[in-house]
Amino acid sequence: MKANRKKIGSKGLSKTGAEKQKQKNAHIVLILVALPLLLIIAVGVSSFIFSNDLLVPMHQDDFTLDVINVNAHSVTLPRTHDTEQHGIFGISWAGGQAAIVGDITSENQDTVTRQLEGRISPRGISQ
């Protein structure tokens, strides 16, 4: 008895042109969705890692100032580049005493007088 043999070609295993295009389109869609998602994740992680660089103030080395006068409403300091700057600053003394000073109320060649915003003692803040 003779066996019938059929030639099995690669035609049955190959994909049609439409299927290939469909698969290619699926890859493109996957890339177009994945790239923005990865970008968002990278920005989020970077923001989290480097947020302290932006949010935590830089503390410079301590420097010494002689306080010329203190009263209930103001603090008079020697005139320096730092004491001339506008803003709110903290001044601390040995023993935990500190003051929060604000706007410059007067100045001359030698001194700068600032408004006393509050005092800080080891027990807490007082006005």
CA Rg, the chain, in Å? 36
Q: What is the mean pLDDT of residues 42-68?
A: 78
Tell whether 84 and 113 lie within a shared domain: yes
Domain containing 34 equals: 15-55
101, exposed or middle or buried, with CB in 10 Å at 0-12, 13-18, 19+? buried
Tell whether 78 and 118 lie within a shared domain: yes
* 25 DSSP 8-state letter: H
Question: Each residue of 71-106: pLDDT tens digit?
Answer: 889 989 999 888 888 888 888 877 777 888 899 999
Whether residue 75 contacts residue 91, with contact meaning beta carbons closer than 8 Å, is answered with yes
Global pTM exceeds 0.85: no
Domain annotation covers residue 77: yes
H/E element holding 91? strand 89-92
| pLDDT recorded at residue 104 | 92
Number of domains in the chain: 2
Quote the longest CA-to-CA distance of the chain.
123
